[in-house]
């Protein structure tokens, strides 16, 4: 159990743990194709961040356990077509707007920044000219995660 999440309902805790996976699926699948490079990049980020000292390291530790399996299971629960999947995931991620303000501000800020970083890194891991760290147009539309409000600025 992650201490900062202990005052949340079980559904809210589940959303907090699931959201980084949803961000990966949202961004990686924005162009209609979730590619192996994008999944590999997400796995690398989660593995590195679980060893860090930032406020969300505990969450990354939980995520790192069977990350790829969790990602595949969650992905199967959504439509294959990006045009159908994106609005569903965006709506689910918007649920964080009711949860983040109830967390300690430093944790909420670190969590929000982690989601943005994850989106950027996954988006830049594949695509572009010869796959050279360029962000595709579909990913660029989603990378700022506009459906989630910055918990510090509101």
**CA 59 to CA 57: how far, in whole Å?**
5
**CA 4 to CA 125: how far, in whole Å?**
31
Q: What is the pLDDT of residue 150?
A: 93
The band of 97, judged by pLDDT with boundaries at 50, 70 and 90, is: very high
> Which class for 7: exposed (0-12), middle (13-18), buried (19 or more C-beta within 10 A)?
exposed
Q: What is the reported pTM?
A: 0.89
Check pLDDT > 70 for residue 127. Answer: no
Check pLDDT > 60 for residue 36. Answer: yes
**Which residue is listed with tokens 């209609």?**
32
The band of 129, judged by pLDDT with boundaries at 50, 70 and 90, is: very low
Q: What is the pLDDT of residue 74?
A: 93
Which candidate, 123, 25, 127, 121, places its Cα nearest to that of 81? 25
Q: Give the pair of three-digit tokens for residue 71.
A: 């990602």
Q: What is the pLDDT of residue 61?
A: 83
Helices (H), 29-136: 36-49, 57-64, 67-76, 82-94, 96-99, 105-124
113 versus 132: the higher-pLDDT residue is 113
Average pLDDT, the chain: 86
> Which class for 144: exposed (0-12), middle (13-18), buried (19 or more C-beta within 10 A)?
exposed
Mean pLDDT of 10-39: 90
8-state DSSP, 13: H
Per residue in 59-78, is it b (16+ CB within 10 Å) or e — as a string? bbbbbbeebeebbeeebeeb
Q: What is the pLDDT of residue 130?
A: 47
Sequence-distant (6+) residues with CB within 8 A of 129 are none
* DSSP H or E segment with residue 99: helix 96-99
Segment 47-90, tens digit of pLDDT: 877 676 677 888 888 888 888 899 999 999 999 999 999 999 99
């Amino acid at each position: 159990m992650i201490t900062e999440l202990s005052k949340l309902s079980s559904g809210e805790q589940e959303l907090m743990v699931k959201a980084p996976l949803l961000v990966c699926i949202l961004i990686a699948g924005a162009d209609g194709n979730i590619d192996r490079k994008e999944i590999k990049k997400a796995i690398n980020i989660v593995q590195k961040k679980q060893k860090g000292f930032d406020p969300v390291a505990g969450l990354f530790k939980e995520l790192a356990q069977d990350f790829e399996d969790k990602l595949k299971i969650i992905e199967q629960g959504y439509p294959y077509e990006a045009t159908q999947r994106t609005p569903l995931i965006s709506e689910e991620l918007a649920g964080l707007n009711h949860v983040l303000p109830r967390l300690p501000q430093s944790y909420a800020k670190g969590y929000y920044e982690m989601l943005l970083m994850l989106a950027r890194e996954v988006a830049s891991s594949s695509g572009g000219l010869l796959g050279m760290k360029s962000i595709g147009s579909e990913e660029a539309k989603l990378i700022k995660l506009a459906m989630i409000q910055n918990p510090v600025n509101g």
